[in-house]
Amino acid sequence: MATKPKSSKKAPTKTGKDEILKYYRDMLLIRRFEEKAGQLYGMGKIAGFCHLYIGQEAVVTGVQACLKDGDQVITGYRDHGHMLACGMDPKGVMAELTGRIGGLSKGKGGSMHMFSKEKNFFGGHGIVGAQVPIGTGLGFANKYRGNDHVSVAYFGDGASNQGQVYESFNMASLWDLPVVYVIENNMYAMGTSVDRASAETELFKRGISFEIEGEEVDGMDVLAVREAGERAVKYARSGKGPYILEMKTYRYRGHSMSDPAKYRKREEVDDVRSHHDPIDGLKKHILEAGHADEAELKKIDNEIKAIVKEAADFSLESPEPDPSDLWTDVLKDAEVA
Amino acid sequence: MSVDILMPALSPTMEEGTLSKWLKKEGDTVSSGDVIAEIETDKATMEVEAVDEGTLAKILVPEGTEGVKVNAVIAVLAEEGEDAGSVEAKKKPDSSPVPETEKKDEAPASEGAAAPEAPEVKVLSDPSIPEGTSFTETTVRDALRDAMAEEMRRDENVFLMGEEVAQYQGAYKVSRELLQEFGDRRVVDTPITEHGFAGLGVGAAFAGLKPIVEFMTFNFAMQAIDQIVNSAAKTLYMSGGQMGCPIVFRGPNGAAARVGAQHSQDYSSWYGHIPGLKVVAPYDAADAKGLLKAAIRDPNPVIFLEHELLYGHSFPVPDLDDYVLPIGKAAIKRQGTDVTLVAHSRMVGFALEAAEKLAEQGIDAEVVDLRTIRPLDTATVIESVKKTNRIVCCEEGWRFMGVGAEIAATVTAEAFDYLDAPPARVHQKDVPLPYAANLEALSLPNADDIVEAALKVCYVK
């Protein structure tokens, strides 16, 4: 049973060059996209709450690499990275941030509320922890239908103290639901560090009393994430039930754009940036393994920059929703019985 | 000294039951704690244990007797040293040693609920029922069950989940025999975890299933209200129309009997407040069936408010293969010309009762059963007010921010010139529901309250 922390291993040799370069690309897209979102926020083009994923890119990139078409994903409000990793259009994400009709929710959702039926992305949820029972329900639907899909429910160290998380663990384990719970432990629930909020700070152990396997993973190493993710997804897909992955990660920015992050020292952030950055780490690995040279990586950088620029331009050019859109999408029309 | 053994009350709402089996016979020795008989209520079969010791001297109610009133003497026990052959039942009233006040308090509840079996109901409730359709007397409980069973047969994606819905057959027996027909994949017993399973249901609905989530009572749904409001109701809008949530949250709502403040609350106005939800609160069995079927088919989240005190009441239900009623349509349950009584759920029974009493005083009341709280059928209410020029809004919930407030405001805004009196409201008193029988009765609205309000708007009183 459960719950020895597994030391994260470095790149398993089986991961091929193409895959590794894809992870690099995917992480870089999230990084540059979020930087641009932060910039647009500063310019007053994006408003409200806006939670950036910078620093945590390896988590979603590594886990998504383990999924197949038809598997479902759900997360909380720090969701831009997850949408990009699910293959949702950066233009649609950015235009939702600016509240335009070209946004994925036609401008009616905002940063925390985007969805894609096509990509099996189920939000984007603004209530801390609410995505966990919903994600468990996605797993329930898979089991009900007898298919072999898994759902992945991402949530943070803060959400891991919500009661509904444990209600979900209990049902998922009781009914062997194919759900992978990914706890993105970025060490701070808004301004409260894990040790100030959690009696048990090793969050991968939170499933023990529900007999759910859990392991701790270096969430700053995409290859370690990928390896643990494969284990978890395989376990859930085989019908054995849920699995918990605690990703030790870090966010560089504040909780949201309006957070000055006074609760941690500048040096702490700098240390993670300079020694544990997931993108720098993978870049070093790529160069050492000879998967690509500086020039090739630079080319990828430029491609990503172009995609992000295109998304930003689109998000500013797309018109605001029509006033008539105020009244649409409240209810679906019922079919005539 | 002989001891009378009385028919016990085995639930808060039980008034009578069937003495299905004696497990001891006359002459047997009985110790305290021995199971002496089995009693069947409308909800369950229960064992009766002896409280005293002695010899079972006389069985006064033979097994198989139906309709045995609570507190009726069912047997006599001879205590040690007594001659079992010679004991007699003490003289007792055939039903109840309950204090007079309590009896009086409970009376309106049952009478009010039973009153509307009046024949005009079926004629007026649904003009779409074809001429010549036969009707079967069905309890609200069974009508709800039949609706779920029919929809589960029709659509593989429909399933029921909740506390005690499967093996226990439903805390109020609404899901009786569904497990046997559909199996445990589609009739799912959950842990006591309302927030969790409401959210799980929402996720299953996002994924395209059609969950029916039963709350043992809507009081417990308070634990889950975030998932209902923030996740189920708002996601279609927040997703720009992409992510529907076809789910039914159902269960008993409102006051039960003597269960105290935390188990007795009407949530009509709470859920009625939320865009993105539909809220249905039927009164009779036909509406319960037709509207639950519609709710299950609806692509939106539907709050389906039942009433525990109506579960056991029977009404005519049309014998149609697929009886589905439109959500959002009120029904005129009694036509009249002098005053409009608007009500929903159990209050419709009181309104009909009040209408009979008003008729004795020469006042012809029209009773509008809202059936749906959201979307509210204001057109039917306003049409009625244009005819009667007076309105009494009746609800079991509190007055403040209540359903009646919404109706009164709408009528005032849209039919101002037709009103001959300000709209009146009948409602629960503005206190948590008390336990004491007399205070509970004072707190809850009844037919007499409606009569009084109607007389007032008619300027008779």
Provide the CATH number for the domain around residue A220: 3.40.50.970
Q: Do B199 and A138 touch (CB under 8 A)?
A: no
Whether A202 maps to a domain, the answer reads: yes
DSSP label at B229? I
Q: Do B199 and A171 touch (CB under 8 A)?
A: no
Q: Which residues of A touch B300 (CB under 8 A)?
A: 331-332, 334
- A75 in Cβ contact with A154 (< 8 Å): yes
Whether A191 maps to a domain, the answer reads: yes
Residue with tokens 């909020």: A197
Q: Is A141 on the interface with B (CB under 8 A)?
A: yes
Q: Which fold has domain B135-318?
A: Rossmann fold (3.40.50)
Is the Cα torsion angle A182, A188, A194, A197 positive or negative in sign? Answer: negative
B273 is catalytic: no
Give whole-number Cα distances, B381 to A283, B121, B270, B411, B413, in Å.
70, 18, 21, 8, 13
Whether A2 maps to a domain, the answer reads: no
Low-confidence ranges of chain B (pLDDT < 50): 93-123
Q: Is A64 on the interface with B (CB under 8 A)?
A: no
Among candidates B184, B187, B186, B198, which has minimal Cα distance to B165? Answer: B187
Q: Is A173 on the interface with B (CB under 8 A)?
A: no
Whether A333 maps to a domain, the answer reads: no
CA distance B15 to B5: 17
Q: Which residues of B touch A331 (CB under 8 A)?
A: 236, 276, 278, 300
Res A280: pLDDT: 97
Q: Do B207 and A127 touch (CB under 8 A)?
A: no
Q: Do A164 and B201 touch (CB under 8 A)?
A: no
Domain extent at residue A239: 17-317
- Residues contacting A322, CB < 8 A, separation 6+: A101
Whether A44 maps to a domain, the answer reads: yes
B194 is catalytic: yes
Res B99: pLDDT: 40
Res B108: pLDDT: 37
Strand bridging mode B314-318 / B135-139: antiparallel
Q: Which CATH class is domain B3-95?
A: mainly beta
Give the number of domains in chain A: 1
Candidates B263, B307, B344, B427; catalytic one: B263
Q: Helix or strand or coil: residue B159?
A: strand
Q: Which residue has the higher pLDDT, B213 or A337?
A: B213
Task: Grade residue A5 by pLDDT with cuts at 50, 70 and 90.
Answer: low
pTM, two decimal places = 0.89
CATH of domain B329-457: 3.40.50.920
Q: Which residues of B touch A126 (CB under 8 A)?
A: 230
- B304 in Cβ contact with B229 (< 8 Å): no
Domain ranges of chain B: 3-95, 135-318, 329-457
Candidates B106, B150, B151, B194; catalytic one: B194
Whether A225 maps to a domain, the answer reads: yes
Q: Is B198 on the interface with A (CB under 8 A)?
A: yes
* A·B CB contacts under 8 A: 157
Q: Do B241 and A109 touch (CB under 8 A)?
A: no
Q: Is A222 on the interface with B (CB under 8 A)?
A: no
Minimal CA separation from A231 to chain B, in Å: 24
Minimal CA separation from A132 to chain B, in Å: 8
Res A75: pLDDT: 98
Res A334: pLDDT: 83
The pLDDT tens digits of the residues spanning A130-168 come to 999 999 999 999 999 999 999 999 999 999 999 999 999
Neighbours of A265 (CB within 10 A): 10
Q: What is the mean pLDDT of residues A65-72?
A: 97
Res B112: pLDDT: 36
DSSP label at B164? T
Minimal CA separation from B194 to chain A, in Å: 9
CA distance A38 to A46: 8
| Identity of the residue numbered A32 | R
Neighbours of A195 (CB within 10 A): 9
**Which of B196, B204, B243 lies at the smallest CB-CB distance from A117?**
B243
Domains B3-95 and B329-457 share a fold: no
Share the mean pLDDT of chain A.
94
